[in-house]
Amino acid sequence: MLAQLGPAPFALVQALAVWSWFCLHAKRLRDSGTEIGAAIAIAILYGLAVLLFMLIAILIAELMSKDPTAAPRVDLADWLVMFLFIGMLIREPNAGLFGYVAIAVLLLILVPLVLAVGFSVFAFRRPSTAPTLAPSQ
């Protein structure tokens, strides 16, 4: 199925996940009396990180293409090449410009994920300012 549809299912699932994350956090921030601007910014950053990740995955799929007439697709073995690449970057003491660019791209993908998790902890630990219902007598 993924060979025929390409990255569209992954993009759709990620878009639904970002929208759900944003709706949940916007409701929680409004409940605590806080503006939702930070949630909007983090959702946009996360969406851009997913887009960058998808572009890299498509690039890896094109580089690893075994049949030049077939559409590019990502197999499980292609991800092993990515882990090998990350391992080479970590072990190399003098990675050069390419190594620094690759590390920067990986950070651009991972930092929004860490920000989203940290913001979730921050948002859900805030006290609620919504009025509570009095118990029935």
Q: What percent of the chain shows pLDDT beyond 90?
A: 20
In-domain check, residue 83: yes
**pTM of this structure:** 0.69
How many structural domains comprise the chain? 1
In-domain check, residue 60: yes
Rounded CA-CA distance 2/14 in Å is 15
Closest CA to 30 of 22, 42, 18: 22
Predicted confidence at residue 10, as pLDDT, reads 84
In-domain check, residue 129: no
In-domain check, residue 137: no
In-domain check, residue 133: no
In-domain check, residue 28: yes
Predicted confidence at residue 46, as pLDDT, reads 92
What range defines the domain where residue 59 resides? 2-124
Q: What is the mean pLDDT of residues 39-65?
A: 82
Predicted confidence at residue 63, as pLDDT, reads 59
When comparing pLDDT for 26 and 59, which is higher?
Answer: 26
The token pair that represents 35 in the structure block: 């503006």
